[in-house]
A and B are shown apart, each in its own frame.
Chain A
Amino acid sequence: MPLLLHPWFLLGLASVPALVAIYFLYHRLRRREVSALFLWRRLGRAAAGRGRLRPQRPPLLFWAELLLLLLLTAAAAELCLRGRHASVPLAVVLDDSFSLQAGGPGDSARARALAALQREARGLGATSVRVIVAGRQPRAGRRAPAAELPLLLRPWQCRSATADLEAALLLARTQAPDARILVLTDHAPRAPVTDPLVKWVAVGRPLDNAGLCNAVRTAATPERDRLLVEVCAYGGGPVTRELTIACAGRELRRERLPLTPGAVRTVTADVPAAGRVRVALDADALDADNACELPPAWRPRLAVQLPAGPRPLRQALEKALRRADVQLVFDAAAPDLILAATNRPAPADGAWLVRFHIPPAAAAAFTGPFILDRASELCDGVELDGVVWCGAPLGGDGLPVIMAGDAPLLTQTELPGGGRLLEVALDVARSTLTQRPAWPILVWNLLHARARALPGFGGTRALCGERVRLRVAGAGERVRLEQPDGGRLELRAPAGGAEAGFIPEMPGLYRAETSAGSYELAVLPGTPEESDLTAACMLTAGGWRNPQALQHGYWSTAALCGLLALAAWAWLAWLVRRAGRAGR
Chain B
Amino acid sequence: MAPPPLPSAASAAAAAAHVRAALRRGSEAGGRYALATPREAGAHSTGQRAGLRPGRSLDFRDYRDYEPGDDLRQVDWNVYARTDKLAVKLYQEEVCPHADIVLDTSRSMALAESAKCAAAAGLAAMLATAAANARFTVAVWIGLGERLVRLPGDAARPESWLPPAFDGRLPLPEWLRLEPPAFKRRGVRFLISDLLWPGEPEEVLGRLDDGAAATHVLHLLGAADVAPPDQGFIRVVDAETDEELDLFLDATARERYAAALHTHTAAWSEACRKAHVTLVRVVAEEFAAAWSLDWLLPYGIVEGA
Interface status of B161 (Cβ within 8 A of chain A): no
- Give CA–CA (A48, B248) in the complex, Å: 8
- Give CA–CA (A379, B46) in the complex, Å: 13
- Give CA–CA (A572, B245) in the complex, Å: 34
Per-position contact with B for A50-81: 1 when CB-CB < 8 Å, else 0?
Answer: 10110100000000000000000000000000
Interface status of B160 (Cβ within 8 A of chain A): no
Asked if B179 and A495 make an inter-chain contact with CB atoms under 8 angstroms apart, the answer reads: yes
Residues of chain A lying within 8 A (CB to CB) of residue B58: 371-372, 374
Residues of chain B lying within 8 A (CB to CB) of residue A496: 182
Asked if B247 and A44 make an inter-chain contact with CB atoms under 8 angstroms apart, the answer reads: yes
Asked if B73 and A38 make an inter-chain contact with CB atoms under 8 angstroms apart, the answer reads: no
Asked if A32 and B237 make an inter-chain contact with CB atoms under 8 angstroms apart, the answer reads: yes
Q: Residue among A32, A42, A496 with the most chain B CB within 10 A?
A: A32
Tell whether A467 pairs with B233 under 8 Å between CB atoms, given A34-B111, A43-B247. no
Asked if B252 and A32 make an inter-chain contact with CB atoms under 8 angstroms apart, the answer reads: no
Interface status of B241 (Cβ within 8 A of chain A): yes
- A39 (CB) vs chain B CBs: closest residue: B260
Q: Nearest chain B CB to A408's CB is how many angstroms away?
A: 16
Residues of chain A lying within 8 A (CB to CB) of residue B78: 385-386
Asked if B252 and A375 make an inter-chain contact with CB atoms under 8 angstroms apart, the answer reads: no
Per-position contact with A for B74-97: 1 when CB-CB < 8 Å, else 0?
Answer: 101110000000000001001000
Residues of chain B lying within 8 A (CB to CB) of residue A480: none
Per-position contact with A for B239-256: 1 when CB-CB < 8 Å, else 0?
Answer: 111010111111011001
A/B pair count, beta carbons within 8 Å: 154
Asked if B247 and A40 make an inter-chain contact with CB atoms under 8 angstroms apart, the answer reads: yes
- Give CA–CA (A177, B267) in the complex, Å: 13
The interface-forming segment of A22-30, A244-252, A412-420, A560-568 is: A22-30
Interface status of B174 (Cβ within 8 A of chain A): no
Residues of chain B lying within 8 A (CB to CB) of residue A437: 73, 77
Asked if B248 and A381 make an inter-chain contact with CB atoms under 8 angstroms apart, the answer reads: no
Residues of chain A lying within 8 A (CB to CB) of residue B109: 35
Partner of B233, one of A43, A55, A137, A375: A55
- Give CA–CA (A94, B71) in the complex, Å: 48
Interface status of A584 (Cβ within 8 A of chain B): no
Q: Nearest chain B CB to A133's CB is how many angstroms away?
A: 13
Partner of A32, one of B57, B91, B236, B270: B236
Asked if B108 and A30 make an inter-chain contact with CB atoms under 8 angstroms apart, the answer reads: no
Q: Residue among A40, A52, A437 with the most chain B CB within 10 A?
A: A40
- A501 (CB) vs chain B CBs: closest residue: B210
Residues of chain B lying within 8 A (CB to CB) of residue A374: 46, 55-58, 91, 94
Residues of chain B lying within 8 A (CB to CB) of residue A30: 230, 232-235
Interface status of A497 (Cβ within 8 A of chain B): yes
The interface-forming segment of B61-69, B120-128, B192-200, B290-298 is: B192-200
Per-position contact with B for A413-437: 1 when CB-CB < 8 Å, else 0?
Answer: 0000000000000000000000001
Interface status of A318 (Cβ within 8 A of chain B): no
Asked if A34 and B239 make an inter-chain contact with CB atoms under 8 angstroms apart, the answer reads: yes
- B229 (CB) vs chain A CBs: closest residue: A32
Q: Nearest chain B CB to A464's CB is how many angstroms away?
A: 14
Q: Nearest chain A CB to B168's CB is how many angstroms away?
A: 13
Residues of chain B lying within 8 A (CB to CB) of residue A42: 256-257, 260
Residues of chain A lying within 8 A (CB to CB) of residue B40: none
Residues of chain A lying within 8 A (CB to CB) of residue B303: none
Per-position contact with A for B44-55: 1 when CB-CB < 8 Å, else 0?
Answer: 111000000001
The interface-forming segment of A9-17, A168-176, A264-272 is: A168-176
Interface status of B187 (Cβ within 8 A of chain A): no
Residues of chain A lying within 8 A (CB to CB) of residue B253: 43, 46-47
Residues of chain B lying within 8 A (CB to CB) of residue A37: 236-238, 241, 243, 245
Partner of A40, one of B91, B239, B257: B257
Q: Nearest chain B CB to A32's CB is how many angstroms away?
A: 5
Asked if A375 and B256 make an inter-chain contact with CB atoms under 8 angstroms apart, the answer reads: no
Asked if A34 and B260 make an inter-chain contact with CB atoms under 8 angstroms apart, the answer reads: no
Tell whether A382 pairs with B111 under 8 Å between CB atoms, given A39-B264, A137-B202, A503-B206. no
Interface status of B225 (Cβ within 8 A of chain A): yes
- Give CA–CA (A120, B124) in the complex, Å: 52
- Give CA–CA (A191, B176) in the complex, Å: 36
Asked if A34 and B247 make an inter-chain contact with CB atoms under 8 angstroms apart, the answer reads: no
- A29 (CB) vs chain B CBs: closest residue: B235
Interface status of A380 (Cβ within 8 A of chain B): yes
Asked if A174 and B256 make an inter-chain contact with CB atoms under 8 angstroms apart, the answer reads: no
Interface status of B180 (Cβ within 8 A of chain A): yes
Q: Residue among B72, B112, B232 with the most chain A CB within 10 A?
A: B232
Interface status of A190 (Cβ within 8 A of chain B): no
Residues of chain A lying within 8 A (CB to CB) of residue B143: none
- Give CA–CA (A18, B266) in the complex, Å: 48
Q: Nearest chain B CB to A136's CB is how many angstroms away?
A: 10
Residues of chain A lying within 8 A (CB to CB) of residue B225: 34-35
Interface status of A485 (Cβ within 8 A of chain B): no
Asked if A441 and B235 make an inter-chain contact with CB atoms under 8 angstroms apart, the answer reads: no
Partner of A467, one of B73, B210, B224, B264: B210
Residues of chain B lying within 8 A (CB to CB) of residue A441: 73
Residues of chain A lying within 8 A (CB to CB) of residue B274: 167
Residues of chain B lying within 8 A (CB to CB) of residue A282: none
- Give CA–CA (A312, B148) in the complex, Å: 53
- Give CA–CA (A127, B44) in the complex, Å: 58
Residues of chain B lying within 8 A (CB to CB) of residue A137: 200, 202
Asked if A170 and B270 make an inter-chain contact with CB atoms under 8 angstroms apart, the answer reads: yes
Interface status of A373 (Cβ within 8 A of chain B): yes
Interface status of A6 (Cβ within 8 A of chain B): no
- Give CA–CA (A177, B274) in the complex, Å: 23
Asked if A35 and B45 make an inter-chain contact with CB atoms under 8 angstroms apart, the answer reads: no
Asked if B239 and A174 make an inter-chain contact with CB atoms under 8 angstroms apart, the answer reads: no
Interface status of B30 (Cβ within 8 A of chain A): no
Interface status of A83 (Cβ within 8 A of chain B): no
Asked if A38 and B198 make an inter-chain contact with CB atoms under 8 angstroms apart, the answer reads: yes
Residues of chain A lying within 8 A (CB to CB) of residue B206: 503
Partner of B200, one of A52, A171, A381: A171
Tell whether A39 pairs with B196 under 8 Å between CB atoms, given A44-B247, A173-B263. yes
- Give CA–CA (A324, B111) in the complex, Å: 62
Q: Nearest chain A CB to B84's CB is how many angstroms away?
A: 18
Asked if A34 and B263 make an inter-chain contact with CB atoms under 8 angstroms apart, the answer reads: no
- Give CA–CA (A105, B76) in the complex, Å: 62
Residues of chain B lying within 8 A (CB to CB) of residue A381: 71-74
Interface status of A332 (Cβ within 8 A of chain B): no
Tell whether A36 pairs with B238 under 8 Å between CB atoms, given A29-B246, A374-B58. yes
Residues of chain A lying within 8 A (CB to CB) of residue B238: 34, 36-37
- Give CA–CA (A173, B77) in the complex, Å: 64
- Give CA–CA (A40, B108) in the complex, Å: 14
Residues of chain A lying within 8 A (CB to CB) of residue B198: 36, 38
Interface set, chain B 167-191, CB cutoff 8 A to A: 179-180, 182
- Give CA–CA (A27, B74) in the complex, Å: 80
- B241 (CB) vs chain A CBs: closest residue: A37
Residues of chain B lying within 8 A (CB to CB) of residue A236: none
Interface status of B222 (Cβ within 8 A of chain A): yes
Residues of chain A lying within 8 A (CB to CB) of residue B224: 34
A sample of 4 more A-B contacts (CB under 8 A), given A28-B233, A34-B239, A47-B249, is A33-B239, A42-B256, A42-B260, A371-B58
| For the complex of A and B, 7 pairs with smallest distance between CB atoms | A381-B73, A374-B56, A36-B196, A35-B108, A37-B238, A29-B235, A47-B247
Return 24 A-B CB contacts under 8 Å, by A number: A27-B233, A29-B234, A30-B234, A35-B196, A35-B225, A37-B237, A38-B197, A43-B247, A43-B256, A44-B247, A46-B250, A46-B253, A47-B249, A50-B250, A52-B248, A55-B231, A167-B202, A167-B270, A371-B58, A381-B74, A441-B73, A467-B210, A494-B179, A494-B182
Residues of B participating in the A interface, judged by any CB pair closer than 8 Å: 8, 44-46, 55-58, 71-74, 76-78, 91, 94, 108-109, 111-112, 179-180, 182, 194, 196-198, 200, 202, 206, 210, 222, 224-225, 228, 230-241, 243, 245-250, 252-253, 256-257, 260-261, 263-264, 266-267, 270, 274
